[in-house]
Amino acid sequence: MSVGAAMWDDLRNRAEGVRDRRIAGLLNEDRARDFAVEACGLHFDYAKTNIDAETRDFLIGMTEAAGLAAARDAMFAGRPINDTEGRAVLHTALRNLDGGRVMVAGQDVMPRVLGTLARMEGFARSVREGPFRGQGGRITDVVNIGIGGSDLGPAMAVQALAPWHDGPRCHFVSNVDGAHIADILRPLDPGTTLVVVASKTFTTAETMTNAETAKAWMAQDVRDPTAQFVALSSAPDRTSAFGIPETRVFGFEDWVGGRYSMWGPIGLSLMLAVGTEAFRAFLRGAAEMDRHFRAADPVGNMPVMLALTGIWHNQGCGYATRAVLPYEQRLARLPAYLQQLEMESNGKRVSMDGRPLNVDSGPVVWGEPGTNGQHAFYQLIHQGTRIVPCEFMVGARGFEEELTHQHRLLIANCLAQAEALMQGRTLDEAKAQLSGRYEGAELDRQAAHRVFPGNRPSVMLLYDRLTPDVLGAIVALYEHRVFVEGVLLGINSFDQWGVELGKELARSLEPVIAGEADAADKDASTAALVRWLRRHGA
C-alpha cells in the first residue's frame, strides 16, 4: 500500500488553496481544545497551523492509504521491515520492561534483552558504588567514544538529565579530529577514567581511531591499558580482538539501528551518570509512548499527529526545513540528536521498490535552545522570505526552585514567539508605532522594515518537568513520528546507504594525503586541493 501521486497532488493543491488563509482566523476555544493531543505526560498542540478539520481528515486518509496500522504492527511484531538490510526493527523491545514476549524469527528476544539490562545495571552499580575501581582508584570520569547514534543519544540525555546526575563525570568524544579527544583527555587521570567504546559495528573509523588513542593514553600511565575499557557493540569478535574481555562487553542485536540504540547498551554512559532507577524511568516513559502509539486512534495519537503536521508543512506546503526549538537549556543537544534521527532515517531518494520518490523526502531539521536562538536566527524565521515551521517545547517547571522567575520568563518567551509568528504585525500597526518620529514617505519606508507578515505555523510540546520518563516519552514520540512520515513517503527509514560513499572515498584519500599514493584517480579539483594541503604541511 502506498500514497499515490494523485493523493500527493491533492495535498499540495489543498495547501496552495489555503496559503493566504490566516491561521489566527481559524482559532477559537474549540480549536484550541481539539487540535491538541494529551498523552504520556505530554501536551502537543497544533492549533497554530493551517490544518483544518477537513485537511486533518484528508491527512488521516493518507495514513490509511499508506497502510500505517499494518506497517506499525509489522514493526512491533519483529518482521524484517528494514528490507535493504534484511533486519527487523525492534528498538522498542529494549524498553519493553513489562510488556511480555517479542518474537523475532520465532524466538522471544526479551530474556536476552532483560539479561543484558541486568548486566548493565550490575556493572553500573559496581562503578558507581564499588567494587569496580580503576588502577588509580575509584572511577571519577567516563569517556564515551562513539559517533552518530553511538554518541548523540547518550550525550543529549546525560545533559538533559543533569538534575539526576550523581555518578562519575561523563565526557563524549566523537570527532576524528584529534583536537576532540586531546582536549577531553588532557585534564583526566587515566587511573580513574573508564573508557566506554560505543560502536555497533566496531569498525567505524572515527571511533576505532579514537579508541586506539585512548588505549595509548592509558598505556602511558597504567599497567593494564584495557582493564578500564568497556565495549558496547554487536561485534564480539572485534571487541575481543581489541582486548576487551567478554565480561565487559554489552552486546545488542542487529535489529537495533544505531540512531535508535540509546535504550540498550549504548545508553550505558547515561546509566553510569544517572543510575539504574532513573534509567529505568527513562525506558518506562518511552514504553508508555509505544503503547500509546499502538493503541490510540489517529486523531488522538500524538506521534501520528506530529508526523502529519510534518507531512503537511514539508510535502504539502513545500517548506523545506523545520526548526526544533526547545526552551530548555538542558535539551541543547536535542536538535543535533533529531538531525540524525530524522535526516538519516527519512533523507532518501527512492521508495521501498527502488523507484524515485514521487514527492520530496524528509525536511532539513535544525535548531537551538530558546532563548538563545531568538538572538541569532529568529530574525529570518519572523521576516525572511522562506517559511520555517517551528516546533517549540517547554516545561511548566524547572528544577531551580530559587529561579522560578527565570523559568516564567523562559515560558513567556516561548509562547510569545509562537504568537508573534502567527499574528505578525501589519503595516498600519508598524506605522502607528512610529508616528511622531517619521512622516510621509520616510514613515512608509521605516514602517516596511518593521512589518511581520505573520501566519507562520508552529506546534508546541508542553510537559510538566524534564524528568527521565518525560525525556523517554519525548524521544520515543519523535522516533515514531519519523516512522509514520517514512511510511507515508513509502521509504525505508531504517537503512543509511547515503553515508557509505564518503566513507569509501575518505579511505582512498588518506594515503594520498599522506603522500603514500598518487592522486591519479582523483578529479582535478580534489587533486589540486590535496597538493595545496600537502604544500602547507598536511
Active site residues: 344, 375, 503
Question: How far, in Å, CA of 487 to CA of 303, rounded?
Answer: 13
Q: Residue 434: name the closest of 423, 448, 424 by CA.
A: 448
Element (H, E) at 284: helix 276-295
Q: Per CB under 6 A, which of residues 150..169 are in contact with ligand F6P?
A: 150
Cα angle at 110 between 109 and 115, to 5 degrees?
110
- What is the closest distance, in whole angstroms, from the C-beta atom of residue 208 to ligand F6P in the complex? 8
Contact stretch for ligand F6P (CB under 6 A) within 79-87, 193-201, 272-280, 509-517: 193-201
Q: Is 285 in the site for ligand F6P (CB under 6 A)?
A: no
The stretch among 92-100, 114-122, 143-151, 325-333 that binds ligand F6P (CB under 6 A) is 143-151
Among 91, 259, 313, 481, binds ligand F6P (CB under 6 A): 259
Q: Which residue is listed with cell 586541493? A: 529
Binder of ligand F6P out of 135, 201, 321, 526 (CB under 6 A): 201
The reply on whether position 267 binds ligand F6P by CB under 6 A is no
Q: Which residues pair with 349 in a beta bridge?
A: none
Rounded least distance, CB 120 to ligand F6P, Å: 17
The footprint of ligand F6P on residues 449-468 (CB under 6 A) is none
Q: How far is the CB of 113 from ligand F6P (least distance, A)?
A: 18
How many residues lie near ligand F6P (CB under 6 A)?
14
Candidates 59-67, 201-209, 268-276, 387-395; binding stretch for ligand F6P (CB under 6 A): 201-209
CB contact set of 17 (below 8 Å; sequence gap of 6+) = none
DSSP 98: T
Per DSSP, the residues of 83-150 read TTTTB---GGGGG-TTS---EETTEE-HHHHHHHHHHHHHHHHHHHHSS-EETTEE--EEEEE--GGG
By C-beta, is 263 or 392 nearer to ligand F6P? 263
CB of 36 to ligand F6P, least distance (A): 33
Contact assessment for residue 358 and residue 8, using Cβ atoms and an 8 Å cutoff: yes
Q: Which residue, 67, 53, 65, 64, is CA-closest to 14?
A: 53
List the x/- string, 498-517, binding to ligand F6P by CB under 6 A: -x------------------
Does residue 200 bind ligand F6P (CB under 6 A)?
A: yes
Q: Does 204 bind ligand F6P (CB under 6 A)?
A: yes
The 316-355 contact track toward ligand F6P, x by CB under 6 A, reads ----------------------------x-----------
Which residue from 55, 199, 269, 455 is in contact with ligand F6P, where contact means CB under 6 A?
199
265 binds ligand F6P (CB under 6 A): no
**Rounded CA separation 333/325 (Å):** 11
Q: Is the torsion defined by CA of 289, 290, 294, 299 positive or negative? A: positive
264 or 457: CB nearest ligand F6P: 264
**Exposure string (b/e) for 240-256, b if CB count within 10 Å is 16 or more?**
eebebeeebbbbbbebb
Three-class SS of residue 45? strand
Residue 84 binds to ligand F6P (criterion: CB under 6 A): no
Burial of 28 (0-12, 13-18, 19+ CB in 10 A): exposed
The residue number whose beta carbon is nearest to ligand F6P equals: 258
Consecutive H or E run containing 133: strand 133-134
Please give the residue ranges that form the binding site for ligand F6P (CB under 6 A).
Answer: 147-150, 199-201, 204, 207, 258-259, 344, 496, 499
